Amino acid sequence: MADKTRIKTAFLPFARPDYVEGMLIGDDLDSLLSAMYLHRRFGWKVSAVYCKYSRIWFNGAAVDFQKQLYSGRLFAIDLDIYHPSVPCLGHHIITLEQTGELPGHTHSLNPNAMRGFAVQQHFHRKYPLATIHFLRWLFDEKDHTVPAEMLTWLADSSYINAQHYRENVDEWVVHYFPHPAFIQMLPDLQTKDFEQALLENILQPMSQNPLCRPGGSSYKSRHLGLNGFQCQFERPNEQNSRIQSLLDLLSDVSAWHRLPFPSRFDTCVEGRRRQVRVGELLSSGISLGDWLETNGVFSYAFTFKDRMNYTVF
């Protein structure tokens, strides 16, 4: 079982929440729910949004934003950022092997890294849940409604993972990140009744918002064939009214405090999204850390065992 106290003491944003000036968040449901939770708990505001792992939207001058980001005072939520001065909380596989040194993750918090899970070790046991699960476990969150519980399991299609990879989800929820509400939900997630309740109480109300729609993937729930509704957005200025309406809905449904979200961002900085095969990394003759430094990588993740997606600004 992971040690909550040790994690909170060792990780700067949770040890010194007053040091954090704002959040850099991702562009989907899990990111919004996680930011909602952290705003409620610490009062942190949304300062910037990282969309499609290619554009960071922010307010103010670029030089001032960059200075703030690399000062360590912006906390990257639901993101795996590779920079020694940027504290981040992500949940993808970020290492090739257990023994590799990654200087850019000095201030990173990642459940897979905590357990030593890497591409070459235990990839099939990787974290199957969402960032909001981790946060609720870490802070022993008991203030939740049934709809809030459903939203938590909807994030990153975690309920579908629980159906298709039940043994792995059980291991994380029961043995490593035990949380009474999650453990209680595990049997229900396997049922048609849960899917029907999710459809009627969460997905149908959400479907009124254009950001919330079924996914095109064949990866679907066992009984009703549900998927999607991850609320992804990529143009926060053009889609702002939809984002604001979505945040109203998420607050109403969950009974959590609404997340304030900027009505407009001044500008964005654009990066280049790339992909590299694991075989190419292994044959490069240098460590992953050196490869990331040489190529100026800002963020990356091994979303598949044979490849790494990464972004360079």
Could you tell me the maximum CA-CA distance found in the chain, to the nearest angstrom?
54
Q: Kindly list the distances between the CA atom of residue 105 and the CA atoms of 109, 204, 261, 295, in Å, as whole numbers in the listed order.
A: 8, 40, 28, 16
Look at residue 144 in the predicted model and tell me its pLDDT. 81
pLDDT tens sequence for the chain (313 residues): 899 999 999 999 999 999 999 999 999 999 999 999 999 999 999 999 999 999 999 999 999 999 999 999 999 999 999 999 999 999 999 999 987 789 999 999 999 999 999 999 999 999 999 999 999 999 999 878 999 999 999 999 999 999 999 999 999 999 999 999 999 999 999 999 999 999 999 999 999 999 999 998 999 999 999 999 999 999 999 999 999 999 999 999 999 999 999 999 999 999 999 999 999 999 999 999 999 999 999 999 999 999 999 999 9
Residues paired with 275 in a beta bridge: 309
pLDDT score recorded for residue 216: 87
Joined together, the tokens standing for residue 95 give 């290492």
Per DSSP, the residues of 192-236 read HHHHHHHIIIIIHHHTTSTT------S---TTT---------S-T
287 DSSP 8-state letter? -
- Overall pTM > 0.95: yes
Upper half-sphere CA count for residue 68 (Cβ side, 13 Å) = 19
Q: Which of 147, 281, 220 is nearest to 300 (CA)?
A: 281
Name the 3-class secondary structure at 310: strand
Distance CA 257, CA 41 (A): 10
- DSSP state letter for 177: S
> Strands 22-25 and 74-77: what pairing?
parallel
Instruction: Provide the pLDDT for residue 98.
Output: 81
The type of residue at 139 is: F
pLDDT at 71: 96
Burial letters 175-211, b for 16+ CB under 10 A, else e: eebebebbeebeebbeeeebbebbeeebbeebeebeb
